[in-house]
Amino acid sequence: MKVTVAQALAWMAPILGLKYPQHREEILVNLNRFRAFLYSEFDEFRLFEYQQCIRLGKFKMDCGSDSCNTYFGFTLPPDMSSLSAVWQHNDSAILRSRWREVHTGLLMQGDGDMQTVPIVGEFATEREVTPGRSLQIYTDSIQDNGKEVWVTAIMADGSEKRLCFTLVSGKHAVVAEPVCSIISVVTPADQCGMLTLSEKDGRCLSMYEPGSQVRSYSRYKLITHCPSNCILIRGYREYRPVCDDFDIVEVGDQLAIEHAAGYFKYYRSKNQDEMVKGARDKAEMMRRVKSIVKRQEGRSQQDGADIGKNAPRRRRRGLPGYKTTTTTTRCSRR
């Protein structure tokens, strides 16, 4: 069950001793503290895992001078913080660490199992810019008029340069100088609307939502002998503060939200009685959220180990006076 921000604020207001909507901003701060707490505990709660179908792209390796030094890969969506699973043609990929290719060499195509390897570093755009193209940025928010976006890029002559885009609502802010690659993108701290960075011909490179100033993405290489157009990925949602009344609060349990209000009302207090009350509210809040997780999991914890040639061997306890071997099922008497 989920609820809107407006409903959650109405539940929290009397517990905090505030009135809604007169003290909306102060209540909203505590609501986002509650959501940030849940996101920081996702390893335990597992509330924010989701999956999405995305297009597979082609990227150039660093120091690659020809068409052979390219790889198939994908960029994580901006609201996904980490990757937990990848599927292509209904087959799951093996998730490797960033150290894998240090030992195996840089692999471009798979020779057996499909593998996913993280690319070291962070990237300012979801898609790579075509070398020699000019850039433009579009916004449709009147509140963003006159604000500046700074893009650091490598130019056609190999030099590094900072480009300034002054936003105009309903129009493209254009810098005509051609670029070869983009190093960083810094958007306004008080950005209100969606920003779209694209090439001069309209090819979209990234769409930036409010909430973050320095933009960065994680990128992965997909090692496969038969790349498809789209893949299915699963990961954990990145925390972003809510603001509008119709934004969604991920946990819609009224008692959990009310106990969260009680906890955050006193969590900085030095008064012993208030500290005890806040601790009780925190414990009850966590108990309510854990119960939601248990109901969502159902019987999933009863999944056994995979059956097959790669299934893990479990050591069985032998009877007294007998020796158990791992290669045969016979027992030999001592």
> How far apart are alpha carbons 124 and 205 in whole angstroms?
9
Specify whether the CB–CB gap between 93 and 222 falls below 8 A.
Answer: yes
pLDDT one-digit tens code per residue, 243-297:
888 888 989 999 999 999 999 999 999 999 999 999 999 999 999 998 888 877 6
> How far apart are alpha carbons 29 and 293 in whole angstroms?
25
pTM, rounded to two decimals: 0.71
pLDDT one-digit tens code per residue, 129-174:
999 999 999 998 898 999 999 999 999 888 999 999 999 999 999 9
pLDDT one-digit tens code per residue, 45-65:
667 888 999 999 888 877 655
For range 72-88, the mean pLDDT = 90
Among the listed residues 250, 236, 195, 297, the one whose alpha carbon sits nearest the alpha carbon of residue 52: 236
Please calculate the CA angle 65-182-108 and round it to the nearest 5 degrees: 40
Specify whether the CB–CB gap between 260 and 281 falls below 8 A.
Answer: yes
